[in-house]
Amino acid sequence: MAIAAFRITDALRKAYSGFNRETVDIHDLEEILADVTEPEGANESIHEILSDVPSREQKILTMMHVEGYTAKETGERLGMKESAVKVAAHRAIKKIREKMGA
Could you tell me the residue range of the domain that residue 79 belongs to?
Answer: 44-102
Number of domains in the chain: 1
Does the residue 15 lie in any domain? no
Does the residue 37 lie in any domain? no
Does the residue 26 lie in any domain? no
Q: Cα(23)–Cα(20) distance, rounded to whole angstroms?
A: 9
Over the stretch 36-78, which tens digit does the pLDDT of each residue have?
555 555 555 677 777 788 889 989 988 888 888 999 999 999 9
pLDDT for 84 equals 95
Which percentage of the chain shows pLDDT scores above 70? 71
Residue 67 backbone class (left: φ over 0; alpha: ψ -120 to 50; beta: rest): alpha
Q: Which residues contact 86 (CB under 8 A, 6 or more apart)?
A: 71
Does the residue 52 lie in any domain? yes
Does the residue 97 lie in any domain? yes
pLDDT for 44 equals 58
Does the residue 76 lie in any domain? yes
Query: pLDDT averaged over the chain?
Result: 79
Q: Cα(33)–Cα(14) distance, rounded to whole angstroms?
A: 32
Does the residue 3 lie in any domain? no
Does the residue 9 lie in any domain? no
Q: Band of the pLDDT at 79, cuts 50, 70, 90?
A: very high
Tell me the CATH number at 89. Answer: 1.10.10.10
